[in-house]
A and B are shown apart, each in its own frame.
Chain A
């Protein structure tokens, strides 16, 4: 689905969501209130300005205090790779966007990610992966790093990596692998209206971060949840402060 199709399906009565320089912002009527939308369109890399633009919209929502949900729609490249972005503190700007989303979530604005295109690395972490629940549409293509680059860095032949990717979902790009890992909660049906599907996700928001549990159930991360649990139990009760 294109962004226009997604927005039409989310907001059958119309909306005020616009795109400028690959950055999505705006809102539309949803349920008995509104749904705010931010995100990245057009496989655009996310740099310092873009991260701050999007964060500003999220902080405005928190300030409004209306507890309206926020949809984070993503078709992005990776973080913008440049000397300038790093010089200006891209790590702080991307973290700031993630923190804004995490704060909004804590303040009663359910955050729902909708991955409809590409996303990678730092951009993926700061947007889609910072939401409470992350949905995707078929054909979405999340990655950490493309396989040819992985081949170059690890000094393994590309065809060997492709072969290995058949036996494990833990390292190769792709929606199926991110589902198996627990990073993506659900894949929506593009042939049905999107608004009710998003509404249902919001109605069933996980109380806590259950991505590691999903990863264990689906086999993409067989041990992460147990490891986190073991550490938490080992530490619990040892130290009482506060």
Chain B
């Protein structure tokens, strides 16, 4: 696949391999622990569940506009992109290597429902190991950029990994949350969260809301080229992992709760952010949305 087809590829519809292949410079990707190694889940057979040769994550090295990068891409359609033992181990190994290898950046194409329940304890621990490893990579001066826009979104422990990255790029389809809509509804009732109300899901945890309140640093079209542009911009502008950054993050998150803590809905938050026509936000195309974001103070910061 070459040229315009690669660039126009829908991020949401693409597989992990297609995203990664179209994002990086053509032919530059070298996979680590590829499918031919058959390092599959030792646990799924107990549940009579089919396995994937790569356990649902593709990791390796490549180039982005000539810059060396390490990259991991989750396959959101395999077990919901969820973290199992091998899946998590591959991401952790890639990150640990980045501390020594010092690429220009580590890119994590997050597409995950969180922990794989069939391997819950392994998945949860791997997520914690991932977060510790990301801190080490950042402290070594290497930006870690998360790209979120797939079918599974970025839920549960994945949401915490996202919050650990130096920078985040998100598209419309990229929902980020800790408890998913169904989990909130099951535990607290439909009054608290009607998980079937798609518009509510998007207003609460969708890409546009996250971008507006400063939960993500770039908003992308559902195209590979848009994510590539965002990744390059964010790599060049990543905050350090230090006290100054975390103090600034403490202040902006405190301020966010003070300002919006009484809001019941995303639309109320956007109105308070100064968005002229908050009800129009969900339908805004990227150009209009970017103009809207440009007028929102909370959206641009170096505090992640």
A interface residue numbers (CB < 8 A to B): 48-49, 52, 55-56, 59, 62-63, 78-79, 81-96, 98-100, 102-103, 106-107, 121-122, 124-126, 129-130, 144-145, 149-150, 152-154, 156, 164, 167-172, 177-178, 180-183, 209, 211-212, 215, 220-232, 234-242
Which of B252-273 touch A at CB < 8 Å?
253-254, 256-257, 260-261, 263-266, 269
The chain B residue sitting closest to A234, CB to CB, is B32
The chain B residue sitting closest to A242, CB to CB, is B102
Nearest 4 Cβ contacts at the A-B interface? A95-B163, A242-B102, A231-B93, A91-B159
Judged by a CB distance under 8 angstroms, whether B59 is at the interface is: yes
Of residues A221, A234, A235, which shows the largest number of chain B Cβ atoms within 10 Å of its Cβ? Answer: A235
Judged by a CB distance under 8 angstroms, whether B26 is at the interface is: no
Q: CA separation between A156 and B46, bound complex, in Å?
A: 12
The chain A residue sitting closest to B168, CB to CB, is A92
Grouping DSSP codes into helix (H, G, I), strand (E, B) and loop, the B interface class, with mixed when no group exceeds half, is helix
The chain B residue sitting closest to A228, CB to CB, is B93
Give the residues in chain B near A92, CB-CB below 8 Å: 163, 215, 249, 253
Q: Nearest-CB distance from A83 to chain B (Å)?
A: 5
Number of contacts between A and B (CB, 8 Å)?
A: 297
Judged by a CB distance under 8 angstroms, whether B128 is at the interface is: yes
Q: CA separation between A144 and B115, bound complex, in Å?
A: 8
Q: Mark B112-124, 1 if CB is under 8 A from A, else 0.
A: 0001011111111
Judged by a CB distance under 8 angstroms, whether B288 is at the interface is: no
User: With A52-B254, A82-B184 given, is the CB distance from A241 to B104 under 8 Å?
Assistant: yes
Q: List 8 A-B contacts (CB under 8 A).
A: A88-B261, A106-B139, A130-B131, A150-B120, A154-B47, A168-B43, A231-B89, A235-B61
Give the residues in chain A near B46, CB-CB below 8 Å: 164, 167-168
Q: Nearest-CB distance from B128 to chain A (Å)?
A: 4
Q: Nearest-CB distance from A86 to chain B (Å)?
A: 5
Q: Are B250 and A181 in contact (CB under 8 A)?
A: no
Give the residues in chain B near A153, CB-CB below 8 Å: 117
Judged by a CB distance under 8 angstroms, whether B135 is at the interface is: yes
Q: Are B100 and A49 in contact (CB under 8 A)?
A: no
Q: Are A181 and B125 in contact (CB under 8 A)?
A: yes
Q: Are A103 and B246 in contact (CB under 8 A)?
A: yes
Q: CA separation between A177 and B120, bound complex, in Å?
A: 10
Give the residues in chain A near B208, CB-CB below 8 Å: none
The chain A residue sitting closest to B154, CB to CB, is A91
Which listed segment binds A: B5-13, B15-23, B186-194?
B186-194
B interface residue numbers (CB < 8 A to A): 30, 32-33, 37, 39, 42-43, 46-47, 59-61, 67-70, 85-86, 88-90, 92-94, 96-97, 100-104, 115, 117-129, 131-133, 135, 139-142, 156-157, 159-164, 176-179, 183-184, 186-188, 192-193, 204-205, 209-210, 213, 215, 241-243, 246-247, 249-250, 253-254, 256-257, 260-261, 263-266, 269
Q: Are B94 and A227 in contact (CB under 8 A)?
A: no
Give the residues in chain B near A94, CB-CB below 8 Å: 159-160, 163, 178
Q: Of A86, A106, A212, which one neighbours B92 at CB under 8 angstroms? A: A212
User: With A55-B250, A122-B160 given, is the CB distance from A232 to B85 under 8 Å?
Assistant: no
Q: Nearest-CB distance from B77 to chain A (Å)?
A: 17
Q: Are A86 and B93 in contact (CB under 8 A)?
A: no
Q: Nearest-CB distance from A57 to chain B (Å)?
A: 11
Q: Are B85 and A241 in contact (CB under 8 A)?
A: no
Q: CA separation between A223 and B119, bound complex, in Å?
A: 12
The chain B residue sitting closest to A80, CB to CB, is B179
The chain A residue sitting closest to B132, CB to CB, is A209
User: With A99-B164, A223-B85, A242-B142 given, is the CB distance from A232 to B97 under 8 Å?
Assistant: yes
Q: Are B30 and A103 in contact (CB under 8 A)?
A: no
Q: CA separation between A185 and B97, bound complex, in Å?
A: 24
Other contacts beyond A48-B253, A228-B89: 12, CB < 8 A: A63-B243, A86-B178, A91-B163, A91-B177, A93-B163, A121-B156, A121-B157, A145-B115, A220-B121, A227-B93, A231-B97, A236-B97
Q: Are B121 and A181 in contact (CB under 8 A)?
A: yes
Give the residues in chain A near B179, CB-CB below 8 Å: 78-79, 81, 85-86, 90, 122
Q: CA separation between A33 and B179, bound complex, in Å?
A: 40
Q: CA separation between A89 and B161, bound complex, in Å?
A: 13
